[in-house]
A and B are shown apart, each in its own frame.
Chain A
Amino acid sequence: MHVAVCVKQIPDPSVAPRLDASFHLERTAKILLDEADAYGVELALQLVESAGQGQVTLVSMGRDSDVTGIRGALAMGATSAIVVSDEGLRGADALTTAKVLASVLAELNADLVLAATESSDGYTGTVPAQIAELLGLPALTFATTVQVADSTVTVHRQTEDGFDEVRAPLPAVVTVTAGAVEPRYANFKGIMAAKSKTIEVRSLNDLGLSALAQAWGEEVVGVTPSPSRQAGTTIVDDGQAVSALVDYLDSIKVL
């Protein structure tokens, strides 16, 4: 069984995000694998392990100057990685990202494509559905459990009121919520093995997609502070905080 997992390296989420002059998210913070992606990697490893054989290929788009996060996923046990890195993709929109990832995925022809429901930095949440449409595949999204048997994938899909059990034939795209599985920690053996695993870097030109460079049809026209939502009073609990809180609740007339 061949499982492809879409992963993304993002700036350390514990560092307050900032925008640069052209409204791009600053990527000066340490670059990490999006925590949301660890679940897809873990699930892929489990599916291949229970199938008895196969491989897990990581597919990513982003700068290749720091691949520590990708290396970490390889240390968990993924087989190899393909990273599309191109200056022409800086600030790319969701559809361009999907076209790039779909181009790599089409070539891999995996049985199953996994992704997180959304990235923790851009969180548009549309890339997996765009990939599925570009590849002509069904997509089972927001999965909280995933089972594969007899070339069919069955998931519990989160809904507004509970969950739906949803089924589709393979190949398919599945997006997993955090908590679908418990990601393993890379052990020493995995970390050592990851050092010699292949991370293949491709450019837009390599993929025959040069026309996509800086060619998306949307732009940010401005960013301004929101007047309606700024910080109010914050106090440190010294044992008296509750009475101050009760006073506050009184002042807004909710008691």
Chain B
Amino acid sequence: MTDVTDVTDMTDVTEETDEEPAPTGVDPEGDPLLRTRFALPKRPATFLRRPRLARHLDEALRTPLTLVDGSAGAGKTLLVADWATGLREPVAWLTSDTADQAPGVFWAYLLGALRAARVPVAAEVGCPAEASRVDQRTLIRLAADLERRDHTTVVVLDEFDRVTCTEIARQLQFVLHHAGRGLHLVLVTRTEPLLPLHRYRASGEITEIRDAELAFTTDEAGELLSRHGLHLPASAVEALVERTRGWAAGLRLCALAARRGPDPGTYVKQFEAGHSAVADFLLAEVLDRQPPGTQDLLLRISVLERFCPDLVNALTLRTDAETVLAALHRENAFVHYLGQSWYSLHPLFAEILRAHLRERSPGLEPELRRRAARWLRRSGALREALVQGAAADDWEFTARAVVDDLAIGRLFTGLRSEDLSALFSRMTPEVTGPVPDLVRAARDLGRRDLEHGLTHLRRASQEVAEAAGDGPEPAPVRLSCALLEALAARLTGSPGRAERAAEQARGLWRHVPEQRLDEHPELTALLLTHLGSARLWAGRFEDARTALSAVAGHPGGAVMALPRWEALGHLALIDYLNGWPGRAEHKALAAAGEAERHSLPRRSGSGLGPLVLAAVHVDRDELDEAQALLDDEAVSRPAVEDPVARAGRTVVRGRLLLARGDARAALAAADEPVPADVGSPWAREQSALLASAAHLAQGHPDLARQAVDRMAPHRTACAVEAARVRLAAGRAEEALALIDGLPDGDRPGPAVAVRATLVRAQAAYETGDRGTAHRLVARALLDGRREHLRRPFLEAGPWIRPLLSTGRLRELAGGWLLPGRPVTTAPAGHPGFAVEELSARERDVLHRLADMLSTEEIAADLHVSANTVKTHLKSIYRKLGVSRRAEAVRRAREARLL
């Protein structure tokens, strides 16, 4: 350091007083402590700005990545916070947490940090709602969003050493690469991050500030010590720098310890000559020299990561936390100030202080955690409260907190559901009572461990019922019980039980605080989804639709994503079973969109959406697409699932096998049992229809008749199949009678109607009425064309082929069923195919694509990197639903985007 006065002048203004803007909507889980993780720590009065480092950080803006990598207590965090405060560019700050190891959590919080910094990303980026997963498309869109901006966004990840997940490192690298100049990433860490640093080094894309550079020079150390009121001769400072290796924390602690002693000079000399471990020794010295009240406070807060004066008072049972914390921050000893009255313990000291606490007051730690848990719960920080409660092994409190807050649904849905469930993994069997049993049942059922889940639920239900003697359990307990009952009913295929649970819940709503229900919309949503699923199983489609529509239309963030997605999948299945493939497809795609936006699913399997889409593809004779969906779906299928999903899959798989000509395998699928407490009319019907069709395909109308005649003759789908069987046996009159005898009440959608019309047409054809046959086939073509229902025509039999090859029928079949030009009057393109809005940049790329420019040419033309163009291309392909350039241009012309 050459000019110390210069430094002094600059640091006069370092005490931060300006109010932190309260970030809005940053919180995926309603966690009030979260904003403290987005806050830049404030610099204390004793902070020494070191221009050589600030300059280096400024220069670093030229490289996409800055790594500040040094030992604990080297002054990294305050250095970067000080530098970042003076930047013109927007700065998003995220202090990592050991609980962020899952990619979904990490990215949700990173997106939260961008919102807190008032540079939110576009809604299309989405936000993960499950801990373990982030959708690649979310990362692509995030990178593209950052890249599109006309300024660089600086993202600081502090304490990045806590992130040890290789997947997150790979994803960060991906976003950094594709965001180009739109993102400058600063990693503050004390261990080498898992990014491929050698590659960044080789290409000169990284700036590193490491221990050697972070170490204080003798001049800087002299200045720092005098700020702490310790004025030493240059030789003593030099010796001290040597002893501490210029380590910031060592210098600061030494100053604090020396200043409080009788003779600072001698103290420093003794310390220099000593052989103790620096931080260990100095911390103990500084601690010893604090007033007893401060010592006690420091030891007690070592069980907390972040704290405010009121919380600290709850641990010390005193009232002086505010003054003590302010004084500690002023001295830059032990604590960081995060703004809005919140502090965090300097990471270096937390563990040492905890060691001192255990030594001085053995057994106090659980008590402190219990008190912290209660304070946190009162303040609405449920997650932190649960973490502390679990760490104190206070299971009665922890389980009660979840249930009484109506948060039991959070064990099933939301970003933190797995964490929350894992918290209770240490709960021992000695902990008894209805509430712990409810939590056990929820965890087991959430993992689809039916055997244990049902046992725990039975016990909990009994305990809740028996408690009525000496005062009933409070409404939240009974409501949580009803939710789990509904889930159990859904999983076991027991509609009556689900209705009873829903009935029970209805009686309880008004006995719980309305505000709590509003805070936990997932509770009602999950219950209605389970109820809807059970009703669907029972074949009560309209009642199921009522329950499910309420969920599908409900807004809300991450916790609502899963129920909404499930409800959409069920609604899609209902449409499919009613013969409306277009509507089914629409809802299944909406479910897929929901899944993509929220990086669903993993734990919950892939849901009904892909099954329904596969079924629609089979109806359209797009067999490879159907197969691909089923193969994909098989990968993420949970071991145990509800009977609706089981039966749905069996039907689709069987239909696909049959369409591929494997009637034997289709028959086997039709025979597959679906375990459930109560049978399902539609599952039985679908199996019978499949079996009948498979027998027909094998040339056994008699067996087909056996299969289908057991079914309800008043259902159109059954009557149509029964009529087909008659036709195959050469009994056209009987077939017609079956169809004509249908009541008017059952009005299925086109998938069934087209098949019915074709059966009539065949009957007319075989009784020699060619004119009627012609007219009916024309109607079937008109009805089937809109939905591209090819399968019914392919299954109709050889008689239809000559009809389709000439005249008006050929025209009607052209372009979708047979090769040729469509005679459609509707606009070209896929009906119902909504093109997602392209961004201005994507349009730029698209126009150049149409001009046959190569990726490199487009990049040069738009002054961006080739990788950026590739990102845009991916986005364009996705939005247009294509996979190649030529297709993209064609589809864009159809949609009049060009």
Whether A associates with B in a native complex is no
User: Which B residues fall within an 8 A CB radius of A?
Assistant: none
